[in-house]
Structure 1
Amino acid sequence: MARSAARPAVDRSVPGLIVKIGAYPLHHGGVGAIRSLGRLGVPMYAVTEDRFTPAALSRYLRGRFVWPTTGREEPDRLVTGLLRIGRRIGRPTLLLPTDEEAAVLIAEHAEALAGSFLFPRVAPGLPRRLASKQGLHELCAAHGVPSPAAVFPGSYADIEAYAGRARFPVVAKNREAFVRRERPAVAGTTRIGGPDQLLDLARDWGPRPGVILQEYLPREQAEDWIVHACFGADRAPLALFTGVKVRSWPPHAGMTACAYVVDNPELATLSAQFADRIGFTGIADLDWRFDRRDGRYKLLDFNPRMGAQFRLFENEAGVDVVRAQHLELTGRTVPEGAQRAGRRFVVENVDLPARLAYRRSGSRPPHAPARASGTELAWFAGDDPLPFFTMLARSVGPGARHLRQLRRAGRRGGTEAPLRQGEGPK
Structure 2
Amino acid sequence: MPSPRIDRDVPAVLVRVGRYPHQQGVVGVIRTLGRLGVPVHAMLENRRTPAAVSRYLVGRHVRPTTGREDPEVLVAALLAIGRSVGRPSVAIATDDEAAVLLAEHADRLAEHFLLPPVAPGLPRTLASKDGLYRICRDHGVPTPRAGAPDGVEDLVRTARAWGYPVVLKNLEPWTRLRSPVVGHTTVVRDEAELLAACPPDGAPSVLLQEYLPSEAAEDWIAHLCCAPGGEPLVVFTGRKLRSWPPDAGVTARARALPNPELAELATGLCRRIGYCGVADMDWRYDRRDGRYKLVDFNPRVGAQFRAFETAGGVDVIRALHLSLTGRPVPRGPQLVRSFSTGQYDVPSALVWAWQQRRLPPGLVPARSTERGWLCWDDPAPAVAEAGWFTASVAQRLGRAVRR
TM over 0.5: yes
**TM-superposed deviation, 1:372:** 3.0
* Partner residue, 1:99: 95
* Partner residue, 2:118: 122
For residues 363-387 of structure 1, what are the alpha-carbon distances to aligned partners after superposition, in whole Å with 9 as ceiling and x for unaligned? 8899979873501111111111111
Question: Which residue identity does 1:101 align to in structure 2?
Answer: E
* Partner residue, 1:302: 297
Q: Secondary structure at the match of 2:125?
A: helix
| In structure 2, C-alpha distance between the alignment counterparts of 1:104 and 1:223, rounded to whole Å | 30
Q: Secondary structure at the match of 1:46?
A: strand
- Which stretch shows the higher mean deviation, 240-249 or 352-361? 352-361
Contact persistence 2:229–2:275 (CA under 8 A): no
**TM-superposed deviation, 1:187:** 2.7
- Which stretch shows the higher mean deviation, 305-314 or 22-31? 22-31
Q: Percent identity?
A: 51
* Partner residue, 2:246: 251
| In structure 1, C-alpha distance between the alignment counterparts of 2:54 and 2:277, rounded to whole Å | 25
**TM-superposed deviation, 1:163:** 4.4
Q: Identify if the C-alpha distance between structure 1 residues 367 and 294 changes in structure 2 by more than 3 Å, giving closer, same or farther.
A: farther
Unaligned runs of 5+ in 2: none
* Partner residue, 1:359: 353
Contact persistence 1:349–1:399 (CA under 8 A): no
Q: Which of 133, 136, 139 is the aligned partner of 2:132?
A: 136
Q: Identify if the C-alpha distance between structure 1 residues 364 and 141 changes in structure 2 by more than 3 Å, giving closer, same or farther.
A: farther
| In structure 1, C-alpha distance between the alignment counterparts of 2:52 and 2:194, rounded to whole Å | 43
| In structure 1, C-alpha distance between the alignment counterparts of 2:244 and 2:185, rounded to whole Å | 12
**TM-superposed deviation, 1:115:** 1.1
Contact persistence 1:227–1:285 (CA under 8 A): yes
**TM-superposed deviation, 1:189:** 2.2
Question: Which residue identity does 1:362 align to in structure 2?
Answer: Q
| In structure 2, C-alpha distance between the alignment counterparts of 1:367 and 1:146, rounded to whole Å | 27
| In structure 1, C-alpha distance between the alignment counterparts of 2:316 and 2:184, rounded to whole Å | 27
For residues 84-143 of structure 1, what are the alpha-carbon distances to aligned partners after superposition, in whole Å with 9 as ceiling and x for unaligned? 000000000001110001000000000000110001011111100111110000000000
| In structure 1, C-alpha distance between the alignment counterparts of 2:118 and 2:147, rounded to whole Å | 28
For residues 330-388 of structure 1, what are the alpha-carbon distances to aligned partners after superposition, in whole Å with 9 as ceiling and x for unaligned? 010000000002x1111112111111111212388999798735011111111111111
* Residue 285 (str. 1) matches residue 280 (str. 2): yes
Q: Which of 329, 339, 359 is the aligned partner of 1:334?
A: 329
Contact persistence 1:43–1:62 (CA under 8 A): yes
Q: Secondary structure at the match of 1:268?
A: helix
**TM-superposed deviation, 1:180:** 4.8
Question: Which residue identity does 2:242 align to in structure 1?
Answer: R
**TM-superposed deviation, 1:394:** 1.6
* Residue 23 (str. 1) matches residue 24 (str. 2): no
* Partner residue, 1:393: 387
TM-score by length of 1: 0.89
* Partner residue, 1:233: 228
Contact persistence 1:246–1:365 (CA under 8 A): no
* Partner residue, 2:175: 179
* Partner residue, 1:318: 313
Contact persistence 2:212–2:286 (CA under 8 A): yes
* Partner residue, 1:266: 261
Contact persistence 1:223–1:365 (CA under 8 A): no
Q: Identify if the C-alpha distance between structure 1 residues 169 and 58 changes in structure 2 by more than 3 Å, giving closer, same or farther.
A: same
Q: Secondary structure at the match of 1:345?
A: strand
* Residue 346 (str. 1) matches residue 355 (str. 2): no
Q: Which of 207, 212, 216 is the aligned partner of 2:211?
A: 216
Q: Secondary structure at the match of 1:290?
A: strand
| In structure 2, C-alpha distance between the alignment counterparts of 1:176 and 1:374, rounded to whole Å | 37
| In structure 2, C-alpha distance between the alignment counterparts of 1:92 and 1:200, rounded to whole Å | 48
* Partner residue, 2:75: 79
Contact persistence 1:19–1:46 (CA under 8 A): yes
Q: Identify if the C-alpha distance between structure 1 residues 67 and 55 changes in structure 2 by more than 3 Å, giving closer, same or farther.
A: same
Unaligned runs of 5+ in 1: 408-426
Q: Secondary structure at the match of 1:395?
A: helix
For residues 219-275 of structure 1, what are the alpha-carbon distances to aligned partners after superposition, in whole Å with 9 as ceiling and x for unaligned? 011100001110012321101000001111111111011111111000000000001
**TM-superposed deviation, 1:399:** 4.1
TM-score by length of 2: 0.94
Aligned length: 400
For residues 183-220 of structure 1, what are the alpha-carbon distances to aligned partners after superposition, in whole Å with 9 as ceiling and x for unaligned? 22223222222345535654x24222222111111101
Contact persistence 2:353–2:359 (CA under 8 A): no
Q: Secondary structure at the match of 2:329?
A: coil
Contact persistence 2:44–2:62 (CA under 8 A): yes
**TM-superposed deviation, 1:402:** 8.5
The RMSD of aligned alpha carbons is 2.3
* Residue 159 (str. 1) matches residue 158 (str. 2): no
| In structure 2, C-alpha distance between the alignment counterparts of 1:64 and 1:111, rounded to whole Å | 25
- Which stretch shows the higher mean deviation, 177-186 or 247-256? 177-186
Q: Identify if the C-alpha distance between structure 1 residues 310 and 401 changes in structure 2 by more than 3 Å, giving closer, same or farther.
A: farther
* Partner residue, 2:66: 70
Question: Which residue identity does 1:15 align to in structure 2?
Answer: P
Q: Which of 181, 194, 200 is the aligned partner of 1:198?
A: 194
Q: Identify if the C-alpha distance between structure 1 residues 198 and 68 changes in structure 2 by more than 3 Å, giving closer, same or farther.
A: closer
Question: Which residue identity does 1:289 align to in structure 2?
Answer: R
* Residue 89 (str. 1) matches residue 85 (str. 2): yes
Higher RCO, 1 vs 2 (CA within 8 Å, ≥6 residues apart):
1
| In structure 1, C-alpha distance between the alignment counterparts of 2:195 and 2:17, rounded to whole Å | 34
Question: Which residue identity does 1:357 align to in structure 2?
Answer: V
